[in-house]
A and B are shown apart, each in its own frame.
Chain A
Amino acid sequence: MNMSGMTTAITPTPKVAAMNETKVSARDVQVYYGDKHAIRDVNIEIRSRTVTAFIGPSGCGKSTFLRCINRMNDTIASCRVEGNISIDSENIYDPKVDPVQLRAKVGMVFQKPNPFPKSIFENVAYGPRIHGLAAKKSDLDDIVASALQKAGLWNEVKDRLDSPGTGLSGGQQQRLCIARAVAVSPEVILMDEPCSALDPIATAKVEELIHELRENFTIVIVTHSMQQAARVSQRTAMFHLGNLVEENDTDKMFTNPDDQRTQDYIMGRFG
């Protein structure tokens, strides 16, 4: 296929809410793994078209909470979620909600790049195809090209879309996964330590991409790197022992946080 002459993207624009409006709202969220109370009383408003970073020590519940936002925890048998999480005021745990549709709306990028063992093209085309977003082959070509452009990967792969996705470098694979998430026009993108397996240059590219994606998407990123949280986000939430201890503007969070636990954690001190 030859799509190098393509200029316009026809991917439907995701529903764009005004910046800083609440996109995701969590009320009294509790998460249990069997008897273990992993998340306690989490209340948070995640703003639209804003990057929100979740930070906190290992095991603090930040990834668990992130996975509640697209109901990924449904796949864990012992996991039970209580409370209310809504996106655009719609309860995502309502029995009427189809988790597959929800996950099209709330995309996810994982710690390790996990492309399908298929071609670069197929990796990106898979989602739009199963969600019926393309009526004909040329529409699908356009969606794939547009997603790869948004993920900043287009120029690197446009001449080898048929090569296997697994043949790309780690950083390229991660951007391929971001393209795959973007291809189904989600409204929210969840990223669980997306750069922890990448070198500094690939990390910088992903961070630049996050900055660009923020124009159109609501992004929530879990990161162990405080510097990364400080660099990419506008809001930061600090988790500790299953509690959300502080949520604040990122600039405030890293210069003068309100909570002592946040202070100790970001400064690398013993509590």
Chain B
Amino acid sequence: MSAKTLLEVKDLKTWFYTRRGIVKAVNGVSFTLDEGECLCLVGESGCGKSVTALSILRLFDSPPGKIVEGKVLYEGLDLTTCPIPQLRNIRGKDIAMVFQNAQSALNPVFTIGDQIEEQINTHRMHHNGTAREKAVALLEEMKIPEAVGALKMYPHQMSGGMKQRAMIAMGLSCDPRILIADEPTTAVDVTIRAQIIYILQELKARRNMSIIFITHDLSLVREIGDRAAVVYAGKVVEIAPVEHILRKPAHPYTIGLISCLPDISTEVKRLPSIPGNTPNPMDIPSGCPFHPRCPSVMDICHTVEPEMLNISGVQTAACHLYDADIMGKR
């Protein structure tokens, strides 16, 4: 843990003020990201992991969305309050994003080359050679065959895997220090998924780039992550190095998630699942948001929200089970 901390998210709350009520999509997320580290944000759909990613660069629709509390510190600069022009210099240059569905995240009426070069030109990142040369090099790095020709293609002329790789190439075009990848492998098939994971692993090692990898798939976390943050109801409930999360999960929710992972070596009749549903972000349960589904629920969980507690130096979890005071009294 000697590496420098690059990004620090502190008690971030992003709420959406809709006609039917306040959607508390992100409701107090905190984590840090070190240089050259891959942090996975894990959680079920609707838990707020994507909105967390969008909140870092203030990319959610506003209105109705608003950051009501918290900070996103990038090298000491608070991205939640800094002026937009300053934020714009960071977007795509220092911190880049790769979205889930390249099919709809790429503009259908411009060529891949146009879209990559546009970003390079905006941030004037073409010191060595032209934007075009840089774009060709990026596509080659992404192992896209015939990169020069691919630049002239429109998104609809590419296969799903090519589009996703072109999207990653675009994200990398200004040599970002942080890449936020929002479920980049959800919309592609298994072989492409393996390719993309391999590319990201390679990039991380070669460029010493930090990655925030958002996924609902724990098997991907094992492959790519250094640390993982488990998100539930707009909150981080556990952060730990990946091997801790997978071998010795602390929070009952994490324990539940891990037990749902199918094991290829044993035969089961029915895959286990966590009973109940993810809470409605407009009506988050009182106390610990997980208490209605928790197998080890106690009285205090109904009323008091647990804080993040240190479990083993590198592992923290928000659960009363690890609070010595509370457990001691029982």
Tell whether A pairs with B. no
